[in-house]
Structure formats: C-alpha cells, structure tokens
Amino acid sequence: MNKTYIYMLPSISQNIVGAVKSCYIYDKNYPHYNKHIFVVYENNHFIDDSDDLVFNYTSGFNEIVHVYRIPEKYYNEFEKFKLGKYSEFNYNYKIQIFAFHQITDSKCRLAKVLFKHPDMRLELEQVLDCKIPSHQELSSIPDDRMESYPKSINDLEYSTNIIEIKKSYLVKISIYPKHHFESQILIRKL
C-alpha cells in the first residue's frame, strides 16, 4: 500500500467500483496525465463507465490500468500531497479520507499524521533519536518510485523492499500487530 492509496484514492472514491489492488499518481509511459490516478483493480476488473475515467490500457504486466482524472476541487490537496503536506489538507478532505478507509479511531496513525498529534511526534523522536520541529510533518513525502506504476521487475523489487522496511519500523514501535500487514500490503505477483 502506497501513499497514493492512503491519501489520494479517496479523491476519486465516487468512481471506485470493486477492490483496488494498487494505485499510483504517475506512469512514465503517460507523463501528460499529471493530475490523474492510475488504478488497478483486483482480478483485473474492467471498468468503462465512470465520469472521471479518462481511459484504460493493458500494462506490460498484463494488468488493466484505469486512468481517472482527479476532480478539480481536489487539486489543492493533490499539490499538498506531492509536497508531503498532509496536515494542510482541507478538514473536509481529511474526513473524506477517514470515511473512505472506514476509520473511526481518532488515535490511529493516519489521524495522528493528518492532525500532527503530539503523541506521534514523540514516538518518532524516540525511534529516530532526534528532535522534530513542530512545523514538520509526521510522515515522509511521497517517494516517486513508490507512487509510479512499475515499469520493470526492479521497480517491483524496490517497492517490496520499501514495504519491508516500513513493516519492520511499524512493528518496532508497536503501532500495528504483525498480522495487520498480511492483510493490508498488496504485493504484485508476476
């Protein structure tokens, strides 16, 4: 699961039909689609009727990729997302993120990131052994390689390695139980 899935997929939630396998904000083969989300559904589910669907294509991994236009009303959130300014999202968009992911716990990690919760800052300071300024966001900026549709097996391996690093970090600070990752992290199988 990448940051596009967490933070930007809710912007097109009215268009989502079925379980999403993965999503991205970039595809190097289509650089002109720079305010779009590239969505792959589970089981190669095919969609052709949606207000914001621009087109579909079959990738080199034989996946059907659906390209959705981000609605103009979310352009500001999209720009903030690319800069990693999650706490600056509009309050109503934050609520939309919670609703999309069915989050009801205001103390969950995502809520702490979106609202720069002091407990989260303290946890990060302890793990990283450093002081984090109060103006600093509590999650990293999006990694372009994680947010881009993979072009090669090397891109897939990179994503897998990053996911493993994140898993070990989160288990280290005991935010999630280990079994959480077995159901939440989707890794492409070739």
- How far apart CA 3 and CA 140 sit, in angstroms, is 10
pLDDT score, position 53 = 93
High-pLDDT (> 90) share of the chain, %: 57
CA angle 156, 1, 136 (to 5 degrees): 110
102-154 confidence digits (pLDDT tens): 999 988 999 999 999 999 999 999 988 999 999 999 999 999 988 998 765 55
CB count in 10 Å sphere of residue 167: 16
- How far apart CA 181 and CA 161 sit, in angstroms, is 14
Contact 132, 121 (CB under 8 A): yes
Where helices occur in 8-152 by DSSP H, the ranges are 75-83, 91-100, 109-114, 118-128
Q: What's the mean per-residue pLDDT of the chain? A: 82
17-71 confidence digits (pLDDT tens): 888 999 999 999 999 999 999 999 988 777 777 889 999 999 888 889 999 999 9
Q: What is the average per-residue pLDDT within 89-111?
A: 94
pTM assigned to the model: 0.80
